[in-house]
Structure 1
Amino acid sequence: MKIVLIGASGTVGSAIVQELGQRHDIIAVGRNSGQHQVDITRSDSIRALFERIGKVDAIVSAAGGLHFGPLSEMTAEQFKIGLHDKLLGQVDLALIGQHYLNEGGSITLTSGIVSAEPIRYGANASAVNSAIDGFVHGAAVELQGRRINAVSPSVLRESWGSYGPYFLGFEAVPAQRVALAYSRSVEGAQTGRVFQVW
């Protein structure tokens, strides 16, 4: 399969490359690195990416920024960081990308555990991840001959040093285990699923 992977150089993205790259042709894409670059907050950048790479069998997104901070100090502009980047960026990737997806192809987005298990300072992340899960459920009903899923990981073991204080009491998961969920989404038959790696 020809798979375009957004966020290929990140911790999760690198694990996905290691897992799926054994069996498929991975087109590595990043904001500033990879074979191609894209800014998922801009529709024109997403369209230009697909015009360059053409039709694909799978679109995988392991990208998207969020805002973490106390609700009492949060501004609308800070909240919009997650809305414009992780949520609308991935939604736009799916809306545009569906037209470049081969028959039987799939789209895999990334949400996260705080959609179901909120944390302090994570209101933006909870809202965004919940919306991504909801979009996948709704979009799966309409994607004819194609599939869409999301992977919802817990905090990564590799990222515990940075994010551990937000996730006390949570079990960290290795990126390699998270990558297996992307494999299930891309290489499996299910659609409208949120693969939880908790």
Structure 2
Amino acid sequence: MRILVIGASGTIGRPLCEELGKRHEVIAAGRRGPDAVVDIRSAESIRALYEAVGPVDACICVAESGALDRFETLTEDELLENMRGKFFGQINLVLIGQSFLKDRGSFTLTSGIFADEAWPGVTGGAVISGGLHSFVLSAAIELKRGLRINAVSPTIVADSVEAYAHLFPGMEPVEMDRLIGTYVNCVEGSETGRIHRLYRPAGSADTGFPLG
């Protein structure tokens, strides 16, 4: 398969490209490439990316992370700015990309734990991830030609604990191998409309909850 990975130079993107590259042709994209350049905050840049790389079998987005915010001073403009990349950018990858993916191709988006777990300072992140989950469920029944869509919703990644654990004390990390395996399964599998939660949402039962 030809697989387009957006955010290829990031913490998740690098090992993901390495694993996929063992079996597939990987096109590594991001603000600085290396194979293709894109700014997912711009619909025009996304369209130019698809036109430049040609037909692909899968598009995976691991780019953009939601900014921290302060609820007592949060404004509509700040929320919109926070949503421009991770929310609207990923949605545009699908809305624009549906015309460029090959039949039975797949999209895999990235949301996050704050869709299900309330945490101080991440209202924007919660709105973004919750909205992405709803979008994936709707898109799964709307996409034509056998196109599939899923989302991976991780908690903090074990490889980032040293840098970010102080912001999310007590949050249990997900191991990188498990995270990468989930993205790979989304591409190489056959399911659609699935939210792969790599954590147990607050208030869920101790057993029987699908964890991705």
TM range (shorter): over 0.9
Query: What are the within-5 Å matches in structure 2 for residues 66-145 of structure 1?
Result: 66-144=66-144, 145=146
Match of 1:174 in 2: 175
- Whether the 8 Å contact between 1:12 and 1:62 is mirrored in structure 2 is yes
Q: Which amino acid aligns with 1:77?
A: D
Displacement of 1:21: 1.4
Question: SS of 1:148's equivalent?
Answer: strand
**After the TM superposition, which parts of structure 1 deviate over 4 Å for at least 4 consecutive aligned residues?**
none
Aligned to 2:149: 148
SS of the counterpart of 2:39?
A: coil
- Residue 134 of structure 1 deviates from its aligned partner by 0.7
In the TM superposition, what is the alpha-carbon distance from 1:142 to its structure 2 partner? 0.9
In the alignment, residue 166 of structure 1 is paired with which amino acid?
Answer: L
RMSD: 1.1
TM-score by length of 2: 0.90
Q: 1:188 aligns to what?
A: 189
Q: Where does the alignment leave 5 or more consecutive residues of structure 1 unmatched?
A: none
Query: What CA distance in whole angstroms lies between the structure 2 residues aligned with 1:142 and 1:85?
Result: 23
Gaps of 5+ in 2: 200-212
Report the Cα distance in structure 1 between the residues aligned to 2:25 and 2:140, rounded to whole angstroms.
25
Partners of 1:115 and 1:171 lie apart in 2 by 16
CA distances 1:112-167 after superposition (whole Å, capped 9, x unpaired): 01110121101110000010111000000011211000000110112112321232
Query: When the two structures are aligned, how many residues end up with a matched partner?
Result: 198
Q: Distance in 2 between matches of 1:84 and 1:95?
A: 15
Q: What SS class does the counterpart of residue 90 from structure 1 fall into? A: helix
Deviation of residue 78 (structure 1)?
Answer: 2.1
**Counterparts of 2:28 and 2:158, CA distance in 1:** 23
Task: Compute the TM-score of the two structures, normalised by the length of structure 1.
Answer: 0.96
Once the two structures are TM-superposed, the CA of residue 170 in structure 1 deviates from its matched residue by 1.6
Corresponding position of 1:19: 19
Aligned equivalent of 2:210 = none
* Pair 195,147 (structure 1): closer, same or farther in 2 beyond 3 Å: same
* Secondary structure of 2:107's aligned partner: strand
Q: CA deviation digits over 1:98-123, x for unaligned, max 9? A: 11111111000000011101211011
Preserved CA contact (<8 Å) 1:120 1:166: no
After TM superposition, give the deviation of residue 53 of structure 1 in Å.
Answer: 0.7
Give the letter aligned to residue 39 of structure 2: D
SS in 2 for 1:163: helix
Q: Percent identity?
A: 40
